[in-house]
Amino acid sequence: MREPLAEAARTALQQGGTTTAQATADHLTVPADTPLVADVWINGDLGFVLLLHRRGDGLVAEELYYSVRREDGAWERPDHLSGGIVGTEMADPAAVKDALAGAPMSVVAESESLVHTGRDPNGDDGELVRISELLMSSEVDFIEIERLSPASPETSAPLRRGMTGPLTLLVLLPGERIRVSAMRGEDSSRARLGNALELHNREQ
């Protein structure tokens, strides 16, 4: 099963994001025979892909893959970082709503992985990246990500990410700190939903 999943992850990276008709704002329909791209996070030449697939026993599992973009622009074959059973039935909007308990978003999984980042000119032995998965309400149209790291310019505009489904993937390099706000509406009519989340990956 790993080979089809790795290829699905590489295709998602080559396309630059999720392109699935099976995802809506409040649920993901996971087919029995095809892995589903839940979300993609690309930071420079680093790429991470969160996949969902339905196991033989009917349960939905998630798999996290990682890759590095080569100088020619192509992505290396993705490596598998982690996986496990998904606690919330993503195909059921009511289950997603119950899991959020009225909040616009919630961190449902966090992990650390040692990956090759290419940032060390003396030979990269790997760095610990912090990976967070957020469950999002259907009321959220997009999230705003403010970089709070000391190296980030204070005047830099927040990164805006639209919703492709109820799961959002965020990956932080060592020393990075961000503030994530759930937003609804457009332009002057946009409004923040609930409290912002601050996520941080410690320095190594």
Under the banding of pLDDT at 50, 70 and 90, the label for residue 21 is: very low
Nearest-CA neighbor of 111 among 126, 125, 128, 127? Answer: 128
Q: What is the pLDDT of residue 185?
A: 87
- Mean of pLDDT values over 105-130: 84
Q: What is the pLDDT of residue 13?
A: 94
Q: Which residue has the higher pLDDT, 83 or 186?
A: 83
**pTM for this model (two decimals):** 0.87
Q: What is the pLDDT of residue 109?
A: 92
* Amino acid at residue number 75: W
Q: What is the pLDDT of residue 141?
A: 92
Q: Phi and psi of 65, rounded to 5°?
A: -120, 155
Q: List Cα–Cα distances, 149 to 61, 96, 134, 156, in angstroms.
A: 33, 32, 21, 11
d(CA 202, CA 130): 9
d(CA 112, CA 115): 9
Under the banding of pLDDT at 50, 70 and 90, the label for residue 184 is: very high
Q: Which residue has the higher pLDDT, 130 or 60?
A: 130
The least confident of 19-23, 128-132, 136-140, 142-146 is 19-23
Query: Hey, CA dihedral for 72, 75, 77, 78, is it positive or negative?
Result: positive
- Mean of pLDDT values over 40-51: 94
Under the banding of pLDDT at 50, 70 and 90, the label for residue 75 is: very high
Under the banding of pLDDT at 50, 70 and 90, the label for residue 2 is: low
Enumerate residues 6+ apart whose C-beta is below 8 A from 126.
114, 115, 116, 117
CB-CB neighbours of 96 under 10 Å: 23
Tell me the pLDDT of the chain averaged across its residues: 85
Q: List Cα–Cα distances, 15 to 37, 40, 41, in angstroms.
A: 11, 10, 12
Q: Decide if pLDDT at 80 tops 60.
A: yes
Do residues 194 and 104 make contact, with C-beta atoms less than 8 angstroms apart? Answer: yes
